[in-house]
Amino acid sequence: MADTRSGNDPAEGPAAARRSRSQRVGLWLGPLLFLLMLLLDLDPGRPEVTRMAALALLMATWWITDAIPLFATALLPLFLFPLLGIERTGDTAPIYFNSTIVLFLGGFMIALTMEKWDVHRRIALWVIRSVGGGPARIVLGFMLAAAFLSMWISNTAAAIMMLPVGLAVILRMEEQFGRDRTRAFSVSIMLGIAYACSAGGIATLVGTPPNLSLQRIFQITFPDAPPIAFGPWFVMALPISAMMLAIAWGLITRVFFRVPEEVTVDREVVESEMRKLGAIAFEERAILGVFAATAFLWVFRAPIVIGPLTVPGWSTLLPYGHLIDDGTVAITMASILFLIPTRSPGAKSRTVMGPGVALRLPWNIVLLFGGGFALAHGFQTTGLARFIGDGFSGLATVPPLLLILVICLAMTFLTELTSNTATTEMVLPIFAAVAVSTGVHPLLLMIPATLSASCAFMMPVATPPNAVVFGSDRVRIAEMARVGLVLNLFGAVVITLIFRALGPLLFGIEPGVLPDWARPGP
């Protein structure tokens, strides 16, 4: 669900407290670029454009280099907006908490409750056991389980949860056939888990933070536009997620790491893990029920329009349905878990979701979201967005399909070395301005950029799942980079083609037509 990278935490130990060379450079380069930008006059007569550009450059430098924790950089608008004459802190502060944050928190509360009662582990083992078969099918089972879990819970947590199960299978194989003969299978399992966690998060709005960033930044930039709802996004992104999962599985098991036929998998490992969980408890059934209901309510809340076909949304049947959004559903269903009493002996809380869940919520990501939203708001209020867009007006002659492909490739490789959440929040306001300037639908550029931010597969630092499996000591950087490079290229093509086919139908995108709600005012 979330990319929980937020910079180094000194509390993690002495090694974590020491800044790398790039962090030290970024720490001083950011303020230097900030001051140099203030000396310029980008838009005569409108000094706030230059000041906002200076702040954006400072935040971008610190986010890219991870000079200070990402969430700390996200706090800069709260005190620099008033100091630079952009906006009062009292007007900026509410931007940090909104319906998108409510959606994120509600979804995360449900996910943490699933982890608390090991529901996610049971789902994963059930999927792996159901797929079964030889080594390639076992890898597919791990990937399907990881992808499904990552649609709803943190992709980091999904990878951490899947890792010990994968290692248990690998260790049993190594005992039977030796480490050298099972090398291909070991790498397949590890890479399969990492790539599936990233691909699975694409499918839902709550699957990964860049998706939620898009939802809110789009609403901030174009307040009169129809909001991006869970259902249309799911219909559009699920095929992309499934295609990336299939390609990753094929590349891993059929091209790069073919497992010898004589190496067979001992299914007893999975069965043993299932037996450890015991019979399904009342609390688990309750969580599964709430989880299933939440997914259904999210997908079918708003009408889903696919060309001439319209699937009506349930919220349209209610007297005040227009006031309900996906955040309403998330927080309502999470609250229900506070009302269901526990029945298992020895339970540490009286209800299925205990009070401790609030302490485990990723508030650093909430602040990172808020900083990105404030940045997008500043781009709009100061006129910096229009200024940047005018500078890219020459792109109006570039074919949309080629423009989308270039954006996908740029975002994919950029996020190999930077936080995908921070990068997305930096570039989305720019892509929105470019779209307006070139006369194309803003989502034609913003959605592919967002999807591509989650498709970085080459480097261990690219995504938390990559880092988790790299720490298993079963994958070399060269192996991850070799498969990841090919998968990155496939990802850019898949996103371009599938979005180009489904995006216009689901989001009302007319090629070459700028919607009225996106047209700049006088």
Tell me the C-alpha distance between 51 and 482, whole Å.
43
Structure letter (DSSP) for residue 317: G
d(CA 71, CA 500): 34
> What is the model's pLDDT at position 171?
79
Distance CA 489, CA 468 (A): 23
Alpha carbons 430 and 437: distance in angstroms, whole number? 11
pLDDT in tens, 299-313: 888 887 776 777 888
29-51 tens-digit pLDDT: 999 999 999 998 887 888 888 99
Closest listed residue to residue 211, CA positions, set 298, 303, 120: 298
Does any domain span residue 445? no
Residue type, 91: D
Q: What whole-number distance in Å separates Cα of residue 401 and Cα of residue 412?
A: 17
* Amino acid of residue 17: A
Instruction: Give yes or no for a contact between 100 and 212, defined as CB atoms under 8 angstroms apart.
Output: yes
**What sections of 93-229 are H helices per DSSP?**
99-116, 119-131, 135-150, 155-177, 183-201, 209-221
Q: Is residue 209 included in any domain, yes or no?
A: yes
Beta bridge partners of 309: 306
Which of 4, 234, 278 has its CA nearest to residue 121?
278
Q: Is residue 389 part of a domain?
A: no
Where in the sequence is the domain holding 140, given as residue range(s)?
A: 99-360
Residue 311: is it exposed, middle or buried by C-beta count within 10 angstroms (0-12/13-18/19+)? Answer: middle
Tally of residues, the chain = 522
pLDDT for residue 82? 94
Distance CA 503, CA 90 (A): 37
Report how many domains make up the chain. 1
397 alpha-carbon distance from chain centroid: 31
- Which amino acid, residue 469? V
Q: Look up residue 427 and give its two tokens.
A: 């570039």
* CA-to-CA dists, residue 30 to 36, 69, 76, 145, angstroms: 10, 14, 12, 42
Residue 175 within a domain = yes
Identify the segments of the chain with pLDDT beneath 50. 4-16
Q: Supply 93's token pair.
A: 């502060």
pLDDT of residue 196: 93
- Return the biggest CA–CA distance within the chain: 75
Asked if residue 484 belongs to a domain, the reply is no
**Does some domain include residue 33?**
no
Reduced to 3 states, what is the DSSP secondary structure of residue 304?
strand
Average pLDDT, the chain: 84
pLDDT of residue 307: 67
Predicted confidence at residue 434, as pLDDT, reads: 87
In a domain, 521, yes or no: no
| Any domain includes 338 | yes
The predicted model scores a pTM of 0.84
* Residue 279 CB neighbours (<10 A): 5
Helices (H), 306-415: 326-339, 357-360, 363-382, 384-391, 400-414
Start-to-end CA span in the chain (Å): 41
Q: According to DSSP H, which parts of 251-324 are helical?
A: 268-277, 282-299
Q: Which residues pair with 304 in a beta bridge?
A: 311
Do residues 305 and 292 touch, judged by C-beta distance below 8 A? no
